């Protein structure tokens, strides 16, 4: 095991080749990086951190839905069904710092974290740190992230200033953790690239660069400083972005085809409630009563709804209630030019949780954005930017080639096995990713050493051994043995 290497992973959420060049990375150091289907924050970052597909780690969106009642529930760290990279490193005594990575809150959902520092992600209900003592140390920097970019559409300059203030404050303790804490893996995700791509779609066309330049300059300075600190630095994004010119209302199309039944009166009422009442008040109402948890539950007739797209903003998934309906839905939707292709989840993914995934994934035609919302129209012309499957990958450092030629494009599943290999640790043989051998210099120890694969029980046993050692240590401290 190589215990003396320091590896940094810098995540630029939603960064495309265009945005990452605005940040400061050179064009010839950037490679395509294939995301999950859908190219969506929850499954993609979880796949990067586990090395497996959504049918194995269990995450496909921010919510899980009961297809019979249409009731939704937020997904948390407890719903991740596969060991994270930091947990595998932990069993070998390697130390990790994990910052703003989705699906890491609450911290109780991460089993092995004896050697891990975790900063909660932007979507968590509180900004905090594990271990708790560090929350007090860095309390003044744990400000709430300005992730609600949609509420600033009318004042985009103000939003840029707000984000700049936020990142300047947060970086104070990011640098403290980077430079003063002991770590082997430092993994930080910056969400600002995603927020900016949503609110300033023109940056994808090389326009409005002045709005984002000050913040991107700050991010690039951090990347450079991390590269100076680490032996190897990866820069990756969970998905890319592209300009969209048309919205396709999937549930409206399904309603027209007779697959969805809903009340127009209830829909109008639900829209009014969402518009008038603050989100925080609505959330409390749902939590303290049997009130509908989403607009589909509030308006659809569950018994007469046979297929639907769940209420998530960037999902390509669709649930169907039985196999016969699935075939009918496929045949019906294939008539729409806005849909490029339709794939069954069982043909795309394999794993113990495949039955919990949407039955179908509908891949959009270029420039088409899907919406789950019920509209009087099925399509609508609209200029915006949203997710696409090509993220970015870049790597520099000790033993890393300056002229990388990939035999096949890297994917979100490849980071975890590659890092295990760099550290000289075995790779669970059920990981879906591969070791990116092409990134290494030919005469480096990483290229010469063959990847070692083991049964997943190898790490499970190490985890049990660690628990036993900890229990014995506690008993000794108490004087019981």
Least confident interval from 33-37, 263-267, 411-415: 263-267
Residue 208: pLDDT band with limits 50, 70, 90: confident
Q: Which of 102, 31, 146, 111 is nearest to 401 (CA)?
A: 31
Residues of the chain with pLDDT > 90, as a percent, come to 83
The string of pLDDT tens digits covering residues 259-270 is: 999 877 766 665
Task: Identify how many contiguous H helices and E strands the chain contains and give both numbers.
Answer: 17, 19
Q: Stretch 115-123: mean pLDDT, rounded?
A: 97
pLDDT at 276: 46
Is the pLDDT score of 282 beyond 70?
no
| The token pair that represents 126 in the structure block | 């509180």
CATH number at residue 421: 3.40.720.10
What does the alpha-carbon distance between residue 296 and residue 70 come to, in Å, rounded to a whole number?
7
Q: Where are the alpha helices (DSSP H) in 181-257?
A: 192-199, 209-229, 250-256
pLDDT at 286: 40
Same structural domain, 360 and 225: no
Note whether 254 and 305 are within 8 A (CB): no
pLDDT at 371: 96
pLDDT at 271: 59
What does the alpha-carbon distance between residue 387 and residue 366 come to, in Å, rounded to a whole number?
11
What does the alpha-carbon distance between residue 240 and residue 250 come to, in Å, rounded to a whole number?
22
pLDDT at 462: 83
Q: Stretch 370-395: mean pLDDT, rounded?
A: 96
Q: Where are the alpha helices (DSSP H) in 307-390?
A: 323-333, 345-348
In a domain, residue 468? The reply is no
Is the pLDDT score of 458 beyond 90?
yes
Residue 289: pLDDT band with limits 50, 70, 90: very low
Mean pLDDT rounded to a whole number for the chain: 92
Question: Which residue, 356, 386, 416, sits at the end of a domain?
Answer: 386
Backbone φ and ψ of 295, nearest 5°? -70, -30
Q: How far is CA 48 from CA 168, 182, 189, 352, in A?
A: 26, 23, 12, 19
In a domain, residue 350? The reply is yes
In a domain, residue 324? The reply is yes
CB-based burial label for 462 (10 Å; 0-12, 13-18, 19+)? middle
Q: State the greatest distance between any 2 C-alpha atoms of the chain, in Å, as a whole number.
A: 73
> Could you please report the per-residue DSSP string of 438-458?
GGB-TTSHHHHSPP-EE-THH
Least confident interval from 15-19, 283-287, 337-341, 429-433: 283-287
Same structural domain, 118 and 175: yes
Q: How many residues does the chain have?
A: 481
Count the domains in the chain.
2
What does the alpha-carbon distance between residue 134 and residue 120 come to, in Å, rounded to a whole number?
12
Q: Stretch 296-310: mean pLDDT, rounded?
A: 90
| The token pair that represents 178 in the structure block | 């980077």
Residues of the chain with pLDDT > 70, as a percent, come to 92
Note whether 118 and 127 are within 8 A (CB): no
Same structural domain, 322 and 412: no
Same structural domain, 186 and 322: no
In a domain, residue 255? The reply is yes
Note whether 348 and 361 are within 8 A (CB): yes
Note whether 358 and 330 are within 8 A (CB): no
Question: Which residue, 386, 410, 425, sits at the end of a domain?
Answer: 386
Same structural domain, 63 and 172: yes
Domain with 91, as residue range(s), is 7-239+389-454
In a domain, residue 272? The reply is no
Same structural domain, 361 and 424: no
Same structural domain, 76 and 225: yes
What does the alpha-carbon distance between residue 345 and residue 357 come to, in Å, rounded to a whole number?
7
Same structural domain, 420 and 334: no
The Cβ of residue 224 has, within 10 Å, a number of other Cβ atoms equal to 12
In a domain, residue 363? The reply is yes
pLDDT at 463: 76
Q: Stretch 342-368: mean pLDDT, rounded?
A: 97
Give me the sign of the Cα torsion angle 25, 26, 27, 28: negative
What does the alpha-carbon distance between residue 402 and residue 33 come to, in Å, rounded to a whole number?
17
pLDDT at 299: 87
Note whether 267 and 389 are within 8 A (CB): no
Same structural domain, 324 and 435: no
pLDDT at 2: 63
Q: How far is CA 464 from CA 314, 454, 457, 461, 468, in A?
A: 39, 17, 10, 5, 6
The DSSP call for residue 145 is: P
Is the pLDDT score of 291 beyond 60?
no
The string of pLDDT tens digits covering residues 219-256 is: 999 999 999 999 999 999 999 999 999 999 999 999 99
Same structural domain, 86 and 109: yes
Is the pLDDT score of 284 beyond 60?
no
What does the alpha-carbon distance between residue 260 and residue 336 come to, in Å, rounded to a whole number?
17
SS3 5: coil
Residue 290: pLDDT band with limits 50, 70, 90: low
How would you list the strands of the sheet with 368-371, edge to edge? 368-371, 240-249, 379-388
What does the alpha-carbon distance between residue 432 and residue 451 come to, in Å, rounded to a whole number?
14
Same structural domain, 410 and 309: no
What does the alpha-carbon distance between residue 350 and residue 364 come to, in Å, rounded to a whole number?
22
Q: How far is CA 39 from CA 85, 142, 400, in A?
A: 21, 29, 28
Note whether 203 and 17 are within 8 A (CB): no
């Amino acid at each position: 095991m190589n215990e003396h290497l320091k590896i940094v992973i810098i995540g630029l959420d939603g960064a495309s080749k265009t945005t990452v060049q605005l940040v400061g990375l050179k064009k010839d150091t950037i490679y395509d990086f294939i995301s999950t289907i859908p190219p969506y924050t929850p499954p993609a970052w979880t796949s990067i951190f586990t090395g497996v597909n959504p049918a194995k780690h269990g995450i496909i969106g921010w919510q899980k839905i009961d297809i019979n009642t249409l009731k939704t529930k937020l997904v948390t760290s407890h719903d991740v069904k596969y060991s994270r990279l930091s947990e595998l490193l932990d069993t070998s005594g390697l130390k990790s710092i994990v910052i703003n990575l989705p699906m890491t809150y609450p911290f109780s959902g991460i089993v092995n974290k004896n050697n891990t520092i975790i900063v909660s992600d932007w979507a968590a209900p509180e900004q905090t740190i594990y271990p708790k003592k560090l929350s007090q140390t860095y309390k003044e920097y744990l400000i709430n992230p300005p992730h609600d970019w949609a509420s600033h559409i009318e004042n985009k300059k103000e939003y840029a200033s707000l984000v700049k203030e936020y990142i300047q404050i947060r970086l104070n303790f990011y640098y403290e953790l980077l430079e003063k804490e002991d770590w082997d893996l430092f993994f930080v995700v910056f969400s600002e690239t995603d927020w900016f791509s949503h609110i300033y779609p023109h940056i994808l066309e090389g326009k409005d660069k002045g709005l984002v330049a000050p913040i991107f300059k700050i991010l690039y300075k951090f990347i450079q400083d991390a590269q100076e600190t680490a032996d190897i630095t990866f820069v990756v994004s969970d998905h890319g972005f592209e300009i969209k010119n048309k919205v396709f209302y999937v549930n409206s199309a399904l309603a027209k085809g007779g697959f969805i039944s809903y009340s127009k009166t209830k829909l109008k009422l639900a829209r009014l409630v969402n518009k008038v009442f603050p989100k925080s008040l609505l959330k409390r109402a749902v939590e303290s009563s049997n009130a509908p948890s989403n607009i589909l539950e509030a308006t659809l007739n569950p018994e007469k709804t046979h297929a639907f797209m769940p209420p998530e903003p960037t999902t390509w998934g669709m649930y169907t209630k039985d196999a016969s309906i699935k075939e009918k839905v496929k045949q019906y939707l294939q008539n729409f030019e806005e849909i490029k292709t339709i794939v069954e989840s069982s043909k795309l993914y394999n794993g113990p949780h495949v039955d919990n995934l949407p039955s179908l994934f509908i891949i959009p035609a270029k420039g088409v954005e899907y919406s789950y919302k019920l509209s009087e129209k099925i399509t609508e012309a609209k200029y915006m930017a949203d997710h696409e499957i090509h993220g970015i990958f870049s790597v520099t450092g000790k033993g890393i080639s300056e002229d990388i030629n990939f035999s096949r494009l890297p994917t979100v599943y490849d980071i975890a096995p590659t890092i295990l290999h760099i550290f000289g640790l075995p790779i669970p043989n059920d990981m879906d990713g591969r070791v990116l051998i092409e990134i290494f210099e030919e005469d480096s120890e990483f290229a010469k050493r063959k990847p070692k694969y083991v049964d997943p029980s190898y790490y499970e046993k190490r985890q049990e051994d660690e628990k036993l050692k900890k229990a014995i240590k506690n008993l000794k401290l108490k004087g019981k043995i």
